[in-house]
């Protein structure tokens, strides 16, 4: 089968990783790299033997598929240009800056029969994929995503930078409309909110308490699900899952049972990109659709809109 010609627009932190993962997959060939910063695209071209340009539009006729890793404000325009040119698109999170932009991209992809996947990489975390094997019905969820401060990503609120990962995972398992959001946030080191806590109530009765911070000294990326049948704790960073259930002993006593689900050893980003390429090859819906990306964005924007902000330190 003919190899899929792929490219990456935005050769920064994430774009570099996308190129590395594409280079490992035999079903594709890296055909182009673009970045507005002089030298970044040319360095990638030297390493991967592909076209290089400071203007992504120079790649429109040379690619079958593209990863878009530019800052969020540029997602819509770059994705729109590639979709209109008949190119399959994997766009990093958050999907777009507005719901109207997301809706237009979804419509174009549907009209042209193209794969449009949103880069919610935690969907491909081995611990989350192991959790998928359970028929969970959580009534309470608690998530913490705490990162040290860094300059990358501060052009957006911490909700769109970090929390959106957990919001997407919560929506994946809580298939119920949002009733209310109560949130508080503080801007400390950047002009945007750097730490946020949100309490989200769903129509089905589930409540999620979600915290995101880019002011921590150490990283913590954990989410816990409580349901009537058990408790499940995911450590995203260590790709670990503790899953406890309940059973009744011969004496009629309720006992805690460790379910010990098998967890694979794959790399989440490589698995995400492989799924993108497989969807193109098989002409199937991607695991994280444009609609999924839009839903996560809608909830993130709801958190921001309901946030009670405090002045920075």
Helix, strand and coil in the chain, % to nearest 5: 35, 30, 35
Pinpoint the alpha helices (H) of the chain.
Answer: 13-24, 40-48, 75-84, 99-112, 126-131, 158, 164-173, 268-282, 290-305
- The pTM of the full predicted model, rounded to 2 decimals, is 0.92
Q: Which two tokens stand for residue 144?
A: 């913490």
Q: Which two tokens stand for residue 140?
A: 């309470």
Q: Which two tokens stand for residue 87?
A: 């190119």
Residue 224 to residue 233: CA distance in whole angstroms? 4
| pLDDT digits 0-9 by tens, 74-127 | 999 999 999 999 999 999 999 999 999 999 999 999 999 999 999 999 999 999
Residue 278 to residue 195: CA distance in whole angstroms? 37
- Residue 46: per-residue pLDDT: 95
| Residue 3 pLDDT exceeds 60 | yes
Between the alpha carbon of residue 95 and those of residues 47, 173, 279, the distances in Å are: 29, 20, 18
- Residue 255: per-residue pLDDT: 80
**Residue 109: closest CA among 289, 288, 297, 298:** 289
**pLDDT top residue among 303 and 312:** 303
What would the 3-class secondary structure string for 220-236 be? EEEEEEEECCEEEEEEC
């Amino acid at each position: 089968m003919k190899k899929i010609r792929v490219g990456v627009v935005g050769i920064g932190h994430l774009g570099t990783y996308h190129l590395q993962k594409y280079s490992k997959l035999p079903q594709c060939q890296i055909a182009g790299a673009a970045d507005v910063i002089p030298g970044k695209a040319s360095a990638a071209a030297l390493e991967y033997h592909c076209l290089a340009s400071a203007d992504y539009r120079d790649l429109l006729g040379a690619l079958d598929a593209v990863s878009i890793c530019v800052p969020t404000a540029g997602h819509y325009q770059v994705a729109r240009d590639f979709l209109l040119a008949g190119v399959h698109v994997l766009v990093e999170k958050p999907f777009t800056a507005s719901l109207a932009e997301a809706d237009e991209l979804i419509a174009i992809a549907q009209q042209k029969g193209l794969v449009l996947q949103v880069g919610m990489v935690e969907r491909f975390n081995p611990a989350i994929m192991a959790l998928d094997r359970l028929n969970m019905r959580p009534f309470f969820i608690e998530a913490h995503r705490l990162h040290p401060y860094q300059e990358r990503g501060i052009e957006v609120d911490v909700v769109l930078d970090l929390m959106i990962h957990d919001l997407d995972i919560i929506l994946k398992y809580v298939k119920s409309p949002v009733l209310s959001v109560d949130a508080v946030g503080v801007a400390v080191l950047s002009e945007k909110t750097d730490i946020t806590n949100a309490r989200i109530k769903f129509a089905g009765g589930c409540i999620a308490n979600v915290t995101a911070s880019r002011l921590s000294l150490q990283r913590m990326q954990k989410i816990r699900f409580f349901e009537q049948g058990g408790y499940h704790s995911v450590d995203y960073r260590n790709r670990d899952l503790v899953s406890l259930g309940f059973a009744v002993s011969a004496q009629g006593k309720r006992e805690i049972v460790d379910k010990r689900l098998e967890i694979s050893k794959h790399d989440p980003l490589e698995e995400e990109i492989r799924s993108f390429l497989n969807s193109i090859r098989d002409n199937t819906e991607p695991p994280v659709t444009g609609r999924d990306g839009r839903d996560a964005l809608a909830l993130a924007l709801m958190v921001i809109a309901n946030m009670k902000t405090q002045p920075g330190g």
